[in-house]
Every structure is written in structure tokens, then in C-alpha cells.
């Protein structure tokens, strides 16, 4: 006979499908849970923890600095051991061993009884950095990021406050960590836009705050990157930062790069298919990079050419096949993909362009016996899913990885000998002065996933554009060439670092109110600059944002 609580438990499980054991035990009697486990209605499943997966990684425990690494280390050490604020820039190509320089410098700082703060752009990289440093610094490391529970975060915060942790690793918010007697701040992947906090009321850039904190506390700050931000590298070349360069890739040679003209009708070209077959035949893995998630980023009515758009944002909705829905990637608005056209009542849709979900589907058709793993925000939108995907990725068996920029941020996937960039031009023509810089950085980082060990990897670019300088220099693996061309354009068109840009964004529910407030703001600033006798400031606008409407606000 079913008791009330047992029936309630079954109804609860039907709604949830999957629920953490801790929550279940807090809500229902233990005897009812045990009974459902015994009769097979309830099943206990253990998911891998991200930390546990990272612990199993092949992380180097011993190394010997190359002559070039030793020279760079000596130069940085001399600066770090001096008293005072020292902004240091470490530019090293992918695989040049920047991490080993960090380790040696951290050893020197800890010897002087001071502490170190290390910033990384993403949560998964905090765990990777922790595993790397644990080989050399035992358990005196604290982690700070948004993936921690409130109790875990409090525990780490108190360990830092009580000076139990000598090294703090974290994402952007860790810049506020209460580290006492701080001796060094390291900002790894300093170019990454993830360091910029724009959603909270407190808006900041963690890299810039690191420099301010370093200056305030009178300590050195190391900025490191394989693809430096234009602004940082310009300051380094001008002598504002101490510049150190690592150009050798001691543990692997640079990959061989090929360019294929892409077809608007075919994602996976015949040439690419042959290359993938060859790599899989050697027992190696393949990484296919496309920086666009979902199945199709544009959905059009076949009858009247109406494009489904978000009512809150005015931006085209993306079709997600798994969810059978059209989604907005900005406000999460969602409608069923079975909807009829609001303009003509038609029900036939034309799916235009492609995202990672479609690439995954096509690859599974071409290579049905090969494991295909998708790495994007949809595939890993919970910690459990991220742990499951990472577990698959770090297995040495041959596989095909389909990923967005999430897959190129510092991950070192084993046995990836071929990287293919499917739409290299994605992101080039966004209405932002940094679109070329960001595209180039992502392409270079994607290239860096190939042949990370001693074998020489291969990189294949598929694009309809070859002559854009961002793609041209990425094909040549030439950061400095790209920098020289980009900096000339910035100077010519008066963009940072040659000017300071301040964006004042006004949001209102009514469009006419936005225009009105924009004009008020302009008049106020003009009068203010007149009163203060400031003449070298130009006010542009008011003008509409590239996205006229976002999340219901104009």
C-alpha cells in the first residue's frame, strides 16, 4: 500500500526527473527513499566532479626551463624582488611555457613571506590552474569563483582572511579578495573579455583593477597572454609596461596551416572530410570550431520571408533543435518551433546559416561510429553537464569535438591533432572597433589547440574571405604583423589606445523617452565642458545602439 509521503515523492520525481540526493533527503523520509531505490523506481547516479576530472589530467610535475625561459624568468624575478609597483607584460606564443614562468616567480614571492593572487578568465581554468600549482605548493591554495556554493565561498574567503591560503586563484571577482601582505598579482589571458563585468551595478575590468590594486599596494603585476590586447601590447612596446617575450614552443612545433574556400551550402567540405578520416585513422582527435551555438541562427518563413525575432530585443531568434524551440540568446525569450508565421499564417520554416548543434548532427551522419562531443553553453549549462563533457573530452580515445570559443580558452585536450575553423569570418563585421582584434585572438587560440605535444598538428581554415588582415595574419600565425596593421587603423580613425572612449548608455521602456534623455545628457555635458573650459572632448550622438532594443528596453 502506498503511503501519502511515498505518493508525494513519486509525483515530485515525475516533475523533476533528476534531483540532488541532499535535497531529496531534506524533503522526504529516508525510509520512503530507500523503498523506491529497492523496487527500482528511484535510481542513484553519481556524476563526476570537475575537480576530480582535473585531478586525473596529465599535468607536468617536473620541468626544466629552456635558455629563453630562463632569461625571461631572471628578468621578471629581478623586477619582482625590487620594492614597488612594476607593471610587467609576458607575451608568449601558445605552448611557450608561460605557466612555468609563473610557477618560478610564485616560488620567489612565497620565499619572501608574501602572498600571490592569480586571475584566470573562466571557472574551468581556476581548477586547471589549481591542479597545476598543487604540484608545487601543496594545499595552501584558495579558490574564488561564482561556481562555489555560498558555504564554500565563505570558507575560502575566511581562509584568505585568516592567512591560511598563500595563493588565491579566481575569476574576475577575485580581484576583491582580502589578501593581506600581497606580493604579486598575475592576470593570465589578460586579453579575455570575460574580465569585464558589465551586468552588475558595479561595473569594472579586472585587468585594469589589478593594475590599480598593484599601484595602490605598491607591488608588481604580471599580465600574460599569447594574443595580447592591442591596448596592453601598445603600452608594453611604448615602455609603459616591462615587456618580456617567449617565441619558442619547446614541447611542440607550430601547426601546419591550410586554407579551404568555404561553400555557403556545405559546412564540411570534401577536403576536410578526408583530413578528418586520416586523423581518426591514426587514433587521434579532431576539434571543429564554430563560434555560433544553436542549430540555425536565422529562421525565415518560406511563404513571406518573415524572420522570427525576439519581441523584447528585436534580434533574430535562434533555432535549437534539441529544445524544439526558437530562443533569444540575450533575454532567454522562447517560443515553440511549431509556431505559425505571425505575418501570413504559414507554417513552413527555412533554416538559414548554422550553429554548433547542426555541425554536431552533420558530423554524426558522416562518422556514425565516432564519439562526437559538443562544447558550448547549451551543452554545459550546469556544473554536472560540464563535468560529464570534460570527462569525455579528457579521455584519450579518438573523438570529434565541436565547440565555440568555450573550447579554445586554455583547455589542453589530449591527442587533438587537427583543428578546423569552419567559418573563420564569424564576428569580423560586428559594429565594434575591436571586432578584428577579437576574431584574430579567437582564431589564434583555436589554432593553439592543435598538436600540443611533440607531434606537429594541423589547422584547416574554412572561410569565404581570405584577404581580411585578421584572417591573413592568423593563417601566418603572426601576432606582431596583425598588431602593426591594427594599430595603424586605430591611429587613423582615432580609436583606443590613442583616445579614451566613454560610452553613456541610456535605457528606457519608451523609445521617444530615450531620445529625449539623450539630448538632455548631451546639452548637460556641453554646458559642463564649457564651464570647466575643457576643449579637447568630442561628444558624438546621441545615436541608437547597434541593437536598438534589448530585454524590453530601448
Q: What is the 3-state secondary structure (H, E, C) of 91-154?
A: EECCCCCHHHHHHHHHHHHHHCCCEEEEECCCHHHHHHHHHHHHHHHCCCEEEECCCCCHHHHH
Q: Looking at the structure, do residues 239 and 265 belong to the same domain, yes or no?
A: no
**Shared-domain flag, residues 514 and 430:** no
State the pLDDT at residue 147.
Answer: 76
Mean pLDDT, the chain, whole residue set:
88
**Distances from the Cα of 256 to the Cαs of 177, 417, 471, in angstroms?**
43, 10, 15
For residue 2, pLDDT over 50 is answered with no
Least confident of 52-66, 153-167, 185-199: 52-66
3-state secondary structure at position 508: coil
Compare 77 and 255 and report the one with higher pLDDT: 77
Q: How far apart are CA 158 and CA 153, in angstroms?
A: 9
- Regarding whether 509 and 432 lie in a shared domain, the answer is no
Please state, in angstroms and rounded to a whole number, the distance separating the CA atoms of residues 446 and 286: 12
Instruction: Identify whether residues 132 and 268 lie together within a single domain.
Output: no
More confident call, 34 vs 4: 34
Query: What value does the mean pLDDT take over residues 357-384?
Result: 88
Average pLDDT over residues 250-272: 81
Confidence at residue 201, expressed as pLDDT on a 0 to 100 scale: 78
Q: Which of 60-64, 251-255, 511-515 has maximum average pLDDT? A: 511-515
Does residue 464 lie within any of the structural domains?
A: yes
Question: Does residue 420 lie within any of the structural domains?
Answer: yes
Nearest-angstrom CA–CA distance, 412 and 132? 12
Q: Pull the grid cell for residue 506.
A: 541610456
Residues 109 and 227 both lie in one domain = yes
In this prediction the pTM is 0.84
User: With contact defined as beta carbons under 8 Å apart, do 529 and 537 qualify?
Assistant: yes
pLDDT of residue 16: 57
Number of domains composing the chain: 4
Pair (30, 133) in one structural domain = no
**Cross-strand bridge partners of residue 325:** 320, 336
Q: Is the pLDDT of residue 50 over 60?
A: no
Looking at the fold, whether 184 and 216 belong to one and the same domain comes out as yes
Q: Contact at 8 Å (CB) between 80 and 214?
A: no
Strands 141-144, 87-92: parallel, antiparallel or unpaired by DSSP?
A: unpaired
pLDDT at residue 498 in the model: 96
Looking from the CA of 307 toward its CB, the CA atoms found within 13 Å total 11
* pLDDT the model gives residue 287: 93
Contacts of residue 144, defined as CB under 8 A and 6 or more positions apart, other chains included, come to 126, 153, 156, 157, 160, 168, 169, 170, 171, 173, 174, 177
Closest C-alpha among 403, 434, 435, 432 to residue 419:
403
Is residue 47 pLDDT above 60, yes or no? no
DSSP 395: S
Same domain for 219 and 133:
yes
Instruction: Say if 328 falls within a structural domain.
Output: no
Q: Mean pLDDT highest for which of 19-23, 56-60, 439-443?
A: 439-443
**CATH number of the CATH domain containing 86:** 3.40.50.300
**What is the length of the chain?**
554
State yes or no: pLDDT of 244 exceeds 80. yes
Residue 511 grid cell: 523609445
**Residue 460, C-beta contacts closer than 8 angstroms, at least 6 positions apart:** 257, 258, 259, 260, 271, 272, 275, 418, 419, 420, 421
Q: Does residue 71 have a cis bond before it (omega within 30 degrees)?
A: no
pLDDT tens, residue by residue, 521-552: 999 999 999 999 998 899 998 998 988 898 88
186 within 8 A of 159, measured Cβ to Cβ = no
Which DSSP helix (H) or strand (E) runs through 215? helix 206-217
Give 319's strand partners: 296, 326
H-assigned helices in 395-452:
435-447
- The three grid cell numbers given for residue 6, joined into one nine-digit string: 511515498
Judgement on whether residues 261 and 228 belong to the same structural domain of the protein: no
Kindly state the helix (H) or strand (E) to which residue 419 belongs, with its residue range. Answer: strand 416-421
Q: Which of 174-183, 418-427, 510-519 has the lowest mean pLDDT?
A: 418-427
Question: Quick check: 4 pLDDT over 50?
Answer: no
pLDDT of residue 418: 92
Cβ–Cβ under 8 Å, residues 166 and 110:
yes
Handedness of CA 286, 462, 291, 490 (dihedral sign): positive
User: What is residue 209's predicted lDDT score, i.e. its pLDDT?
Assistant: 98
* Cβ neighbours for 532, distance < 8 A, ≥ 6 positions apart: none
- What φ, ψ does residue 101 adopt, rounded to 5°? -65, -45
Q: Of 468, 409, 74, which is closest to residue 259 (Cα–Cα)? A: 468
pLDDT tens string 445-503: 888 877 666 677 899 998 888 889 999 999 999 999 999 999 999 999 999 999 999 99
pLDDT per residue as tens digits for the range 107-125: 999 999 999 999 999 887 8
What values do phi and psi take at 341, rounded to 5?
-65, 125
Handedness of CA 337, 341, 345, 351 (dihedral sign): negative
Closest alpha carbon to 51 in 121, 117, 122, 131: 131
**Least-confidence region, from 122-131, 194-203, 490-499:** 122-131
Is residue 171 domain-resident?
A: yes
Bridge-based pairing state of the strands 196-197 and 204-205: antiparallel
- Between CA 444 and CA 431 the distance in angstroms is 21
Q: Are 343 and 299 in contact, with CB atoms under 8 Å apart?
A: no
Residues 87 and 226 in one domain: yes
Cα within 13 Å of Cα(552), Cβ side: 4
Structure-model confidence comparison of residues 292 and 7, the more confident one: 292
Q: How confident is the model at residue 170 (pLDDT cuts 50, 70, 90)?
A: very high
Bond preceding residue 196 cis, omega within 30 of 0: no
Both 137 and 284 in one domain: the answer is: no
Average pLDDT over residues 348-352: 91
The answer to whether 474 touches 443, Cβ cutoff 8 Å, is yes
Q: Which residue has the higher pLDDT, 87 or 51?
A: 87
Residue 310 is assigned to a structural domain of this protein: no
- Asked whether residue 103 falls in the same domain as residue 226, the answer is yes
Section 305-323 average pLDDT: 93
- Structural domain includes residue 323: no
* Range 266-280 average pLDDT: 90
Are 423 and 290 in contact by the 8 Å Cβ rule? The answer is yes
Is the pLDDT at 1 greater than 90? The verdict is: no
Q: Which pLDDT score is estimated for 547?
A: 86
For residue 338, being part of any structural domain is answered with no
Q: Which residue segment(s) compose the domain that 516 sits in?
A: 502-554
Q: CA nearest 262: which of 231, 240, 290?
A: 290
CA 139 – CA 133 distance, rounded (Å): 9
Residue 17 lies in a domain: yes
Percent of the chain with pLDDT over 90: 57
Whether 144 shows a pLDDT value over 80: the answer reads: yes
Q: Rounded to 5 degrees, what angle do the CA atoms 189, 80, 178 make?
A: 65
Residue 87, φ and ψ in degrees, nearest 5: -80, 115
Closest CA to 413 of 427, 393, 429: 393
**Residue that is last in its domain, among 246, 273, 305:** 246
Tell me the chain's radius of gyration from C-alpha atoms.
26
Amino acid at each position: 500500500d502506498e503511503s501519502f509521503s511515498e505518493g508525494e515523492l513519486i509525483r515530485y520525481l515525475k516533475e523533476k526527473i533528476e534531483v540532488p540526493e541532499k535535497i531529496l533527503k531534506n524533503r522526504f523520509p529516508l525510509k520512503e527513499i530507500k523503498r523506491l531505490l529497492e523496487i527500482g523506481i528511484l535510481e542513484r547516479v553519481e556524476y563526476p566532479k570537475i575537480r576530480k576530472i582535473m585531478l586525473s589530467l596529465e599535468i607536468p610535475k617536473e620541468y626544466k626551463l629552456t635558455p629563453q625561459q630562463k632569461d625571461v624568468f631572471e628578468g621578471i624575478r629581478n623586477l619582482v624582488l625590487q620594492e614597488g609597483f612594476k607593471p610587467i607584460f609576458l607575451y608568449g606564443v601558445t605552448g611557450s611555457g608561460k605557466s612555468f614562468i609563473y610557477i618560478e616567480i610564485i616560488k620567489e614571492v612565497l620565499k619572501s613571506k608574501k602572498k600571490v593572487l592569480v586571475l584566470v578568465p573562466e571557472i574551468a581554468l581556476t581548477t586547471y590552474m589549481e591542479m597545476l600549482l598543487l604540484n608545487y605548493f601543496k594545499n595552501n591554495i584558495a579558490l574564488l569563483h561564482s561556481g562555489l556554493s555560498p558555504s564554500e565561498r565563505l570558507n575560502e574567503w575566511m581562509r584568505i582572511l585568516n592567512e591560511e591560503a598563500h595563493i588565491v586563484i579566481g575569476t574576475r571577482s577575485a580581484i576583491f579578495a582580502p589578501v593581506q601582505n600581497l606580493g604579486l598579482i598575475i592576470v593570465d589571458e589578460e586579453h579575455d573579455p570575460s574580465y569585464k563585468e558589465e551586468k552588475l551595478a558595479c561595473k569594472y575590468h579586472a585587468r585594469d583593477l589589478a593594475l590599480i590594486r598593484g599601484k595602490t599596494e605598491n607591488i608588481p603585476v604580471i599580465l600574460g597572454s599569447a594574443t595580447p590586447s592591442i591596448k596592453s601590447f601598445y603600452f608594453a612596446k611604448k615602455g609603459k609596461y616591462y615587456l618580456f617575450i617567449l617565441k619558442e614552443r619547446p614541447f611542440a612545433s607550430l601547426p601546419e596551416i591550410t586554407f579551404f574556400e568555404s561553400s555557403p551550402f556545405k559546412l564540411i567540405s570534401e577536403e576536410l572530410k578526408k583530413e578528418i578520416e586520416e586523423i581518426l585513422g591514426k587514433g587521434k582527435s579532431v576539434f571543429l570550431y564554430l563560434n555560433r551555438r544553436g542549430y540555425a541562427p536565422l529562421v525565415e518563413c518560406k511563404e513571406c520571408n518573415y524572420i522570427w525575432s525576439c519581441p523584447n530585443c528585436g534580434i533574430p531568434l535562434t533555432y535549437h533543435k534539441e529544445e524544439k524551440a526558437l530562443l533569444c540568446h540575450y533575454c532567454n525569450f522562447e517560443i515553440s518551433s511549431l509556431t505559425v508565421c505571425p505575418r501570413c499564417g504559414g507554417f513552413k520554416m527555412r533554416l538559414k546559416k548554422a550553429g554548433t548543434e547542426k555541425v554536431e548532427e552533420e558530423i554524426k551522419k558522416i562518422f556514425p561510429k565516432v564519439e562526437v562531443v559538443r562544447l558550448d553553453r547549451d551543452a554545459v549549462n550546469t556544473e554536472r553537464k560540464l563535468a560529464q563533457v570534460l570527462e569525455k573530452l579528457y579521455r584519450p580515445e579518438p573523438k570529434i569535438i565541436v565547440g565555440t570559443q568555450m573550447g579554445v580558452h586554455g583547455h589542453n585536450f589530449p591527442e587533438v591533432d587537427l583543428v578546423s575553423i569552419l567559418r573563420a569570418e564569424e564576428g569580423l563585421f560586428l559594429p565594434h572597433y575591436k571586432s578584428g582584434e577579437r576574431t584574430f585572438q579567437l582564431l589564434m587560440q583555436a589554432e593553439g589547440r592543435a598538436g600540443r605535444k611533440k607531434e606537429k598538428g594541423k589547422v584547416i581554415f574554412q572561410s569565404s574571405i581570405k584577404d581580411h588582415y585578421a584572417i591573413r595574419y592568423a593563417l601566418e600565425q603572426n601576432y606582431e604583423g596583425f598588431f602593426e596593421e591594427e594599430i595603424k587603423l586605430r591611429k587613423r580613425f582615432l580609436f583606443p589606445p590613442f583616445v579614451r572612449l566613454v560610452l553613456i548608455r541610456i535605457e528606457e521602456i519608451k523609445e521617444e523617452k530615450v531620445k529625449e534623455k539623450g539630448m538632455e545628457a548631451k546639452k548637460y555635458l556641453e554646458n559642463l565642458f564649457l564651464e570647466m573650459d575643457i576643449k579637447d572632448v568630442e561628444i558624438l550622438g546621441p545615436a541608437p545602439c547597434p541593437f536598438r532594443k534589448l530585454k524590453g528596453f530601448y
